[in-house]
Amino acid sequence: MIPFWIIAVVLIVSALWTVTARKPIYSVVSLLLNFAALATTYLILHAEFLAVMQIIVYSGAILMLFVFVIALLNSGIAPIVLGRDRVPVAPAAAAALAAIAFVATAIAAAHAPAIVPIASHSPLGAVGRGNVFGSIGDFGQALFLSRLLPFEITALILMVAVVGVVLLAGDLTPYVPTRRRAEQSRRALREAILREGK
Amino acid sequence: MATSFAGVPIFDYEALASILFFIGLAGAVARRNPLVMLMSIELMFNAANLAFIVFARAWLNNAGQIFAFLVITVAAAEAAIALAIVVVVFRSAPQVDVDDVRVLHG
């Protein structure tokens, strides 16, 4: 009971810090804290594989991407200066919506079953045993046997994302082996851009 | 450790998830830094994931965990594409306001 409230406070405070931080890099750090606390919650809720995925994919890949973009945009050129944030009417509206959602979840939770302890498990669930809820064996069987099609569609989505990112942000100039030819092609590209600008 | 969490009612988990979701929503609506807006969207994804996993645990049905896994992969794809758009837009003109980026309206 008490660990849940500690983690809940950590989650809410780090989420608030993420939203209100002045510099994006502070937001990244607090989001890292948020993800770590969330991974702990997943572990407690017997989602072992998802706890590991939370750390690897979110903290490892996505947040690193954010850090790289911050470094890329802030190096050499001015930081993103956008003026004032929008008026606090919007957060007030969001808070009102949150109150409505509270009532809705209260009604929904009245009909939900209480979280009962699982009969036999080690403190961290049962790693590798397919018949225990939340173990990696259980998750893998469900993912690859009964829900294979969504998994394959996920692979397609990731491939589309990779192609889209390369098309959007990739360097489309052809590769040139020597420094002199690279300088020539860069100059030709710059002149082409200037010509199109006029 | 796990048994101490078993005494927490499902409403507390759901309230936590909804609080996190609406903090993320407020950030995505109110902030103007595109990176912070994207991070707020990630917060909303994570709140939804938490709800999925709590309900999966409550009903002892791992369909919610599968769905949370799919949400994680889709969020990764979304972050990659959104950051590519941010890089393309703000590398050429660092002073652009997010409200002025109307190229994607079609």
The answer to whether residue B68 is domain-embedded is: yes
pTM of the model: 0.78
Would the pLDDT of A71 be above 70?
Answer: yes
Contact flag A85-B55 (C-beta cutoff 8 Å) = no
The answer to whether residue B104 is domain-embedded is: no
Contact flag A91-B26 (C-beta cutoff 8 Å) = yes
* Token reading at A192: 């082409």
- In this prediction, residues A60-67 reach a mean pLDDT of 92
The answer to whether residue B3 is domain-embedded is: no
> Who wins on pLDDT, A166 or B98?
A166
Annotated domain spans of chain A: 1-76, 105-173
Contact flag A12-B16 (C-beta cutoff 8 Å) = yes
DSSP structure string for A134-169: TSHHHHHHIIIIISHHHHHHHHHHHHHHHHHHHHHH
Q: Does B100 touch chain A (CB under 8 A)?
A: no
Q: Does B103 touch chain A (CB under 8 A)?
A: no
Which is it for the CA torsion B13, B23, B94, B77, positive or negative?
positive
Q: Does B37 touch chain A (CB under 8 A)?
A: no
The answer to whether residue B55 is domain-embedded is: yes
Q: What is the pLDDT of residue A9?
A: 93
Q: B30 near A80, Cβ under 8 Å? A: no
Nearest-angstrom CA–CA distance, A48 and A42? 7
Contact flag A81-B94 (C-beta cutoff 8 Å) = yes
- In this prediction, residues A185-197 reach a mean pLDDT of 81
How far is it between the farthest Cα atoms of chain B? 54
pLDDT in tens, B56-90: 888 888 889 999 999 999 999 999 999 988 888 87
The answer to whether residue B26 is domain-embedded is: yes
The answer to whether residue B102 is domain-embedded is: no
CATH number, position B50: 1.10.287.3510
pLDDT in tens, A83-137: 566 656 666 677 777 777 777 777 676 666 556 655 544 444 445 455 677 778 8
Fold adopted by A1-76: Four Helix Bundle (Hemerythrin (Met), subunit A) (1.20.120)
> Which residue range forms the structural domain that includes residue B44?
10-93
